[in-house]
Amino acid sequence: MPSLKDIKTQINSVGSTKKITSAMKMVAASKLRRSQEKAEAARPYSSRLEEMLSSLASSAASGEGIIKLLTGTGNDQNYIVVPVSADRGLCGGFNSSINRETFKLVKSLEGNGKKVQLMPVGKKSRDFFNRVMKDQIIESFVDLNVSSTGYESALNISNKLQELYFEGKFDKCILVFNKFKSAISQEVTQQQLIPLDVSNSEKEEEKENSSNAIYDYEPDEETILKDLLPKNVSIQIFKVLLESDAGEQGARMAAMDNATRNAGEMIDSLTLKYNRTRQAFITKELIEIISGAESI
């Protein structure tokens, strides 16, 4: 049976853990609000860009150079997979679900005879894939801090990807990231980044207004498309980074909330145990005194 002092130390240590987790929860909650605002602020740009792109996409039947971002290389042998995780842990299953999903995707692609390379974003997925698939990592990006550095961070990734793409290093690029659904739930999502998948947005636009397509293009459609496509890659990455950032804070908030609650429960049961032990101790001493007095 543990002594009173042991239990007391245990209560104290759980108590300080609780303080830490509840502080982390508060921090995550306020960061979440900021990340959400950022994600919201980025929305008008990306939706506009998508609209423009889908109205232009039809004009690019086939092509060389930059247009290949839209039409593809005509192959699908080499893949590059970009898992987007957080830089820090203590956020529940946030990082591990990304890693697991990516791992599964890579294995299934390889099962179909494709060649897969990895470009992890975020420390947690870099470290994971450094352990399990080290020789497939082509590049990694860590310490992005998208909420403070903003668009620049997405530009770096996008430039690197496009550089590799035009060197013919890969044919398809797939992003794996946590989509922000609500403050407490994220959904692991796969998104094909290159070549661009316009089928969804195109349909929507057709529904909205089919008459809106009579634009004058300056200088001409192709030039605009050539400018637009690389930007679109960057903005898609930016959007994903922001979503993932908001998701991370949400996941951390939920995880820390849980931890705080668990610590509270633990303190309660330990306190009960402490009181019982103390009571038992007093009773024992009383019995000793009484039986001592009786024997005299």
Partner 1 sequence: MATISFDLVSPENLIFNDDVGTIIVPGKDGDLGVLPGHSQVMSSLRPGRVMVYSEDKNLVKSFFVSGGFAEINPEKCIVLAESVVELNSLDKSSIEKEIEELGSKESKESEEQLLIAKAKLEAITVSFYDKI
Q: How many residues at the interface with partner 1, by CB under 8 A?
A: 27
Residue 28 — φ and ψ, nearest 5°?
A: -60, -40
Please tell me the distance from the alpha carbon of residue 120 to that of residue 82, in angstroms, as a whole number.
Answer: 5
206 near partner 1, judged by CB under 8 A: no
Q: Which residue has the tokens 């996008």?
A: 158
Q: Which of 182, 219, 293, 294 binds partner 1 (CB under 8 A)?
A: 219
Q: Which residues contact 60 (CB under 8 A, 6 or more apart)?
A: 67, 70, 71, 221, 222, 225
Please tell me the distance from the alpha carbon of residue 174 to that of residue 156, in angstroms, as a whole number.
Answer: 17
* Closest to partner 1 by CB, 44 or 292: 44
Rounded least distance, CB 227 to partner 1, Å: 5
- Specify the stretch interacting with partner 1 by CB under 8 A; choose among 43-51, 87-95, 115-123, 168-176: 43-51
Q: Which of 64, 143, 167, 218 binds partner 1 (CB under 8 A)?
A: 218
Rounded least distance, CB 278 to partner 1, Å: 59
- The structure tokens listed for 53 are 């792109």
* Closest to partner 1 by CB, 59 or 269: 59
Rounded least distance, CB 50 to partner 1, Å: 11
238 near partner 1, judged by CB under 8 A: yes
Q: Which residues contact 81 (CB under 8 A, 6 or more apart)?
A: 102, 105, 106, 109, 116, 117, 118, 119, 173, 174, 176
Rounded least distance, CB 84 to partner 1, Å: 17
- 178 strand-pairing partners: 188
Please say whether the beta carbons of 266 and 3 come within 8 A: no
Binding site for partner 1 (CB under 8 A): 38, 41-42, 44-46, 48-49, 52, 56, 150-151, 154, 214-219, 223-224, 227-228, 231, 234-235, 238
